[in-house]
Structure 1
Amino acid sequence: MTIKNSELTDIPIIYDLYRMATAYMKSKNQVHWPEFPKDLITTEIEENRQWKLLIEDKIACIWATTLNDELIWGTKNEPSLYIHRIATNPEFRGQNLVSKIIDWANDFGKNRNLKNIRMDTVGLNKGLIGHYEKLGFTFLGANQLENTNGLPEHYQKGEVCYFQKDII
């Protein structure tokens, strides 16, 4: 298993994984992701904020990061590692890859003197809330965002659930 930054040549695979994740969300009647703008993904790659987990040179999982997330976290925003849009290749489901991402995130954050790993999800997905809690996250509650300007459209479709885990 290797974790490294995504590359521009990965964009077609990234979109395939997002489409599969979106189809899965729809099948579960959950708030689902829109088609993300290509410039968003390109910028994340160019800024080294789009990541991939490789197993035997195959992309098993992708996600994006930022160190500031004021649009979603508002006044509770603070320097943390914010993780967004984890999408797992269905061939690798059930291998507990999110725990591998969290281990990586802990090391990444520790090396940058950050205090927390933070995530959010839209909609009250009790299964996902429980999953993140099992991974050591504290569920901080849910809130409907008042201003979604600058955010992907799915943030308009439900309450945002907030999660935080101390970096140790």
Structure 2
Amino acid sequence: MNISNSTAADIAEIFRLYDCATAFQKTKYILHWPKFEISLIENEITENRQWKITINGKTACVWATTFNDPQIWEERNDDPAVYIHRIATNPEFKGQNMVAIIVDWAKKYAKANHKRYVRLDTVGQNESLINHYTKMGFKFLGLYDLKNTDELPSHYHGNPVSLFELSVI
């Protein structure tokens, strides 16, 4: 197993995994991911914020990070944190607890970058994700209505978000 930054050569696979995740979301939930702009992913790759887990040469999971997430975290954005977005697991690796691997990595990544928290969000009150993330050690901070979603992907528009935080200190 290897964790590394995604590259431009990974873009097609990233979008395939997003499509797989969205198809799964549509079978379980009312809210699901929209089609993301390729420029978003290209920018994350350029800034070394798009990540992947590879196992035996296959991409098992992808996600993105940022150190700044003001539209979602609003006044809490001032806290030193790493924010995780769009975890998408390859269906061939479902059940192998990719989130636990990402959380372990993220705690080390946050400490190495002098951050106090690992944070993530999910749109809506998704009880299965709330339970999953709290089992991974995250504190569920509650459901919040965002004040300004203009620059966020469309699934955030008009929908509350569940916020999660994990202290690494």
- Please tell me the TM-score bracket, short chain as reference: over 0.9
The equivalent residue for 2:99 is 98
Counterpart residue type for residue 129 of structure 1: I
For residues 72-91 of structure 1, the C-alpha deviation after alignment (integer angstroms, 9 at most, x for no partner) is 10011122010000000000
Matches within 5 A, 1:56-95: 56-77=56-77, 78-95=79-96
Question: Residue 80 of structure 2 contacts residue 114 of structure 2 at CA under 8 Å; is this kept in 1?
Answer: no
* Residues 1-59 of structure 1: per-residue CA shift (max 9 Å, x gap): 10000000100000000011001101112310000000000000000000000111100
Aligned identity (percent) is 52
Hey, what's the Cα distance between the residues in 2 that align with 1:113 and 1:73? 19
Q: Secondary structure of the residue that 1:105 maps to in structure 2?
A: helix
1:123 equivalent in alignment to 2:147: no
Whether the 8 Å CA contact 2:81–2:117 is kept in 1: the answer is yes
Task: Give the partner amino acid of 1:124.
Answer: Q
Q: Secondary structure at the match of 2:12?
A: helix
C-alpha distance in structure 2 between counterparts of 1:118 and 1:84, whole Å: 9
Shift of 1:66: 0.1
Counterparts of 2:27 and 2:91 in 1: how far apart (Å)? 14
State the aligned residue count. 168
What TM-score results when the alignment is normalised by the length of structure 2?
0.97
Amino acid at match of 1:125: N
Question: Where has structure 1 moved over 3 Å in runs of 4 or more?
Answer: none
Within 2, Cα distance between the matches of 1:14 and 1:36? 11
More displaced stretch, 23-32 vs 47-56: 23-32
Counterpart position of 1:46: 46
Distance in 2 (CA, whole Å) between partners of 1:153 and 1:76 is 22
Query: Structure 1 CA distance, aligned partners of 2:41 and 2:30?
Result: 23
Partner of 1:36: 36
Could you tell me whether the CA contact under 8 Å between 1:3 and 1:53 is conserved in 2?
A: yes
Check if 1:150 corresponds to 2:151: yes
Structure 2: gaps spanning 5 or more residues: none
The alpha carbon displacement at 1:157 in A equals: 4.6
**In the aligned structure 2, how far is the partner of 1:59 from the partner of 1:157?**
33
TM-score (norm 1): 0.98
In the other structure, the counterpart of 2:23 is 23
Q: Is the 8 A contact 1:30 1:125 kept in 2?
A: no
Distance between the aligned counterparts of 1:30 and 1:89, measured in 2? 22
Paired residues of 2:130 and 2:140 also in contact (CA < 8 A): yes
Report the CA distance between 1:106 and its aligned residue. 0.6
